[in-house]
Amino acid sequence: MLQRQLCPSGDEIDQHIQKYFKDRSGLGFYVGGMRQVWITKAGAPKVLQVREAPDPAPKAGELRIAVRASGINFADLMARVGLYPDAPKLPCVVGYEVSGVVDALGEHTTGFQVGDRVLAMCYFGGYSDRVVVPSSQALKMPARMSFETGAAFPVVYVTAHNMMLFTGHLRRKSSVLILSAAGGVGLAAMQIAKTRECTIFGSASVSKHEFLREHGCHHVLDSSRDFADQVRAIVGDRGIDLILDPVGGKSWTRAYELLAPCGRLVAFGLSAATGGNTRNWLTAAASVLSVKSWSPMQLMGDNKTVSGTNMAHLFARPDLVEPQLAELLQMYERGELEPHVDRTFSFDEAAAAHQYIHDRKARGKVLLVP
């Protein structure tokens, strides 16, 4: 059996893996258990710990992926501090997206073969060097796509697509405001907005403003100041057609007030609930209690729409997710989309990776590599 070994380059190991698969299809190529990054308890990034576990076996309709890169999302940080209601009971392994090579197939699994390069969405467990997913949650990677790009692609781009094109019905030449615009979803949303010739407003810390301009943001806003006042100074009373808000709390109220007639506010996070890299119940409670409710009568009178997106809750609906991911890969092939990978960290550096995001240093995606 082939032993795990170090190679001087990713390309060489990919060639070695695929040759081995071709010669010994179905025999596997790794001896020993898998490595995972565990959240051992709620707390600061130091609670993350690398542990070993037996390799998972794919069941009927599933495939196993030898992971080359795993995406980090803000929900992972929320889970680590103990403020993400969807997360498994601690201790647990989180992670929603991976890329790698198929190394085993379950019975009756079709459409893939051992050795295929794939990206996949997983309902937790992505911080592992072996991941098993239903075949409906994996797609073959385009030839030019690197493993780093593949791991940076699924969650943020499907989230942005779902908000803007699938449920948002983004009209051409609309105005779009993206809060936390320098993050993974924010950059994905800007790229999608550019395909619709939209006017893009993006909010971020001052240190990231030039980065946003380089990526096509027309009006860069200072996230330390009230975004609504800054936007009104530009558009007056016209308002904004589509606002994407992962902050929550009072931010949602300010965003709703800023909407133009027939405007849409989409909530896709509640980062206001985290006041740092550990859990703070007062901050979390204040952010939740400050959320305003809108009645159907008010929405009707205002001609406005409020909606939300949580991709984790759509994993059980491949009929909704698969077409979006397939369309996004076509957009990638046309050169319309290109993930920006800021940094990669090894599994052993997972705590540093989380801290890097907590410190608001990330621009685009941050990845873990086994």
- Same domain? 180 vs 208: yes
Is residue 16's pLDDT more than 50? no
Is residue 140's pLDDT more than 50? yes
Residue 321 in domain: no
- Residues near 337 by beta carbon (within 8 Å), at least 6 away in sequence: 157, 188, 191, 192, 328, 331
Count: domains in the chain: 2
- How far apart (Å, rounded) are the C-alpha atoms in residues 119 and 139? 6
Residue 333 in domain: no
- Same domain? 163 vs 263: yes
Task: Report the alpha-carbon angle 186-319-364, nearest 5.
Answer: 15
Quick one: pLDDT at residue 251? 93
Is residue 267's pLDDT more than 70? yes
Q: Which helix (H) or strand (E) holds 161?
A: helix 154-161
Tell me: the pLDDT tens digits for 147-206?
999 999 999 999 999 999 998 889 999 999 999 999 999 999 999 999 999 999 999 999
- Same domain? 185 vs 144: no
- Same domain? 27 vs 131: yes
Residue 4 in domain: no
Domain of 200, in residue numbers:
156-313
What residue type is assigned to position 23 of the chain? D
- Same domain? 306 vs 166: yes
Half-sphere exposure of 333 (CA within 13 A, CB side): 10
Residue 352 in domain: yes
Instruction: Write the CATH number for 272.
Output: 3.40.50.720
* Through-space distance between the first and last CA atoms of the chain, rounded to whole angstroms: 20
Residue 2 in domain: no
- Same domain? 163 vs 269: yes
Percent helix, strand, coil in the chain, to 5, is 35, 25, 40
Buried b (16+ CB within 10 A) or exposed e, 289-299: eeeeeeeeeee
pTM for the model:
0.86
Instruction: Write the CATH number for 48.
Output: 3.90.180.10
Residue 171 in domain: yes
DSSP 3-state of 52:
strand
At residue 280 the predicted structure's pLDDT band, cuts being 50, 70 and 90, is low
